[in-house]
Chains A and B, each alone.
Chain A
């Protein structure tokens, strides 16, 4: 199993540009999560999906952020337009909907907005 695959690993973009982060979850996992990690705020849940359906997006900072999961094997997190304060590491994780099942995290995307 290749694990959760995120791309790109690093992204540097200019303020105002659109950024798209990608995630491929583990096959068979029916829950997918997007987290953001910063020094100040730690690990924050942005949005999560069950069976490709968005369940809770209350963690999405503002309308500039959007996420989709068109099928069970792919999800995107888009920021448009990007701002310097969006600079962070964005993690995608997948799991099954069982209480004692942990999450498998991708390697993360380090986003820098200049």
Chain B
């Protein structure tokens, strides 16, 4: 069965610094997709970034990048130049031929 693990329940980062949120996954299927979502205190789920298992390059979307290490089965989210508005829960998720399976999330707090 597929599994997503986020080992950091909470993280703090100084404004304007970079931060890495960890995500490891487990699947035997060679074809899968990895996603990161942001959930601010208002509650909505916001899609941030996607990485396919066959993608040769790490995905980037503005200040977000995904550090994909396939052999280690990790898909860490890197947020550069943190802003106060980045304070939120962040969820890693994986999709195969099944619905998205989510990790437990990491709460990021950005400090001024």
- Residue positions of A touching B, CB distance < 8 A: 33, 42-43, 45, 48, 56, 89, 91, 93, 99-100, 102-105, 107-108, 110
Report yes or no: A102 in contact with B47, Cβ–Cβ below 8 A: yes
Determine chain A's interface SS by DSSP, over half rule.
Answer: strand
Of all chain B residues, the one with the shortest Cβ separation from A48 is B99
In the bound complex, residues from chain A placing their C-beta under 8 Å from that of B97 are 99
Interface size for B (C-beta < 8 A) is: 22
In the bound complex, residues from chain A placing their C-beta under 8 Å from that of B52 are 99-100
Distance, CA A45 to CA B33, complexed state (A): 17
In the bound complex, residues from chain B placing their C-beta under 8 Å from that of A110 are 43
Distance, CA A43 to CA B101, complexed state (A): 8
**Nearest chain A CB to B43 CB, angstrom units:** 5
Distance, CA A107 to CA B45, complexed state (A): 7
Name 9 interchain pairs, CB-CB below 8 A, sorted by A. A42-B103, A43-B102, A45-B101, A91-B45, A99-B31, A102-B47, A104-B47, A105-B37, A108-B44
**Nearest chain A CB to B4 CB, angstrom units:** 10
**Nearest chain B CB to A84 CB, angstrom units:** 20
Q: Which of B32, B102, B105 contacts A99 (CB 8 A)?
A: B32
In the bound complex, residues from chain B placing their C-beta under 8 Å from that of A56 are 99
In the bound complex, residues from chain B placing their C-beta under 8 Å from that of A91 are 45
Report yes or no: A99 in contact with B33, Cβ–Cβ below 8 A: yes
Report yes or no: A105 in contact with B44, Cβ–Cβ below 8 A: yes
Of all chain B residues, the one with the shortest Cβ separation from A98 is B33
**Nearest chain A CB to B56 CB, angstrom units:** 14
Distance, CA A15 to CA B37, complexed state (A): 33
In the bound complex, residues from chain A placing their C-beta under 8 Å from that of B99 are 33, 45, 48, 56
Q: Which 8 A-B pairs have the closest CB atoms?
A: A105-B45, A43-B102, A102-B47, A42-B104, A99-B33, A48-B99, A45-B99, A100-B33
Given known contacts A91-B45, A108-B44, A103 and B100 CB-to-CB distance under 8 angstroms:
yes
Of all chain B residues, the one with the shortest Cβ separation from A103 is B100
